[in-house]
Amino acid sequence: MSSMSVQDAVETLSFPYYDQGLKAVAISDRDGVTLVKCLSSTASPSILEQVLPTTFAVANAQASKLGLKKNKSIVSIFGLHQVVQLDQSPLIITMVANAHANTGALLDLGNALKEITQVIVNAMQKQQAGNGGVV
């Protein structure tokens, strides 16, 4: 049985979407520390700014207070780009794509990535429990 690193798994899942306008995928925590980063060949690394997940963390927390249960995702569409972000507490999945890209398809990709990041989240929770709750 061969195992794949998380980086490779994210890369494999994201690859088909680069032709459809996806530029970059990042998995980070709420403070903007990046765990996994994938870029299409046409994207520059500076597209994934630290401000993206940190701002999402604030907006997500506030959106969860709208009385509609926990907020799951936020899509921001700008002139040239769109940013699709999903909450996978304590992690954040960020995708940057062209403005005209298929948002629905990107949300599908985000949900598929959630299955991968769930592995990391479970490991983090196990470790925290092992430390008696002290990080």
Partner 1 sequence: MSNVATIVTLQNNTMESALEAILDKLASPDDVQGVLIADEHGLCLGGVLPEAPSNRFRHSPSAPSHPNYFTPHHTARGVAKPASAGSVASIALHARDLTSSPRDDDKFQYPTVCVETTNSTIIIRNEGAYTLAIFKEGQ
Residue window 30-69: x/- pattern of binding to partner 1, with contact defined by CB under 8 A: ----------------------------------------
Residue window 70-89: x/- pattern of binding to partner 1, with contact defined by CB under 8 A: -------x------------
**Residues in CB range of 12: below 8 A, 6 or more apart:** 4
Q: How far apart are CA 60 and CA 88, in angstroms?
A: 11
State yes or no: residue 20 binds partner 1 (CB under 8 A). Answer: yes
Q: How far is the CB of 20 from partner 1 (least distance, A)?
A: 7
Q: How far apart are CA 74 and CA 96, in angstroms?
A: 12
**Which residues in 93-122 contact partner 1 (CB under 8 A)?**
102-108, 111
Position of tokens 């990041």?
Answer: 117
Q: How far apart are CA 34 and CA 24, in angstroms?
A: 13
Q: Which residues bind partner 1 (CB under 8 A)?
A: 20, 77, 102-108, 111
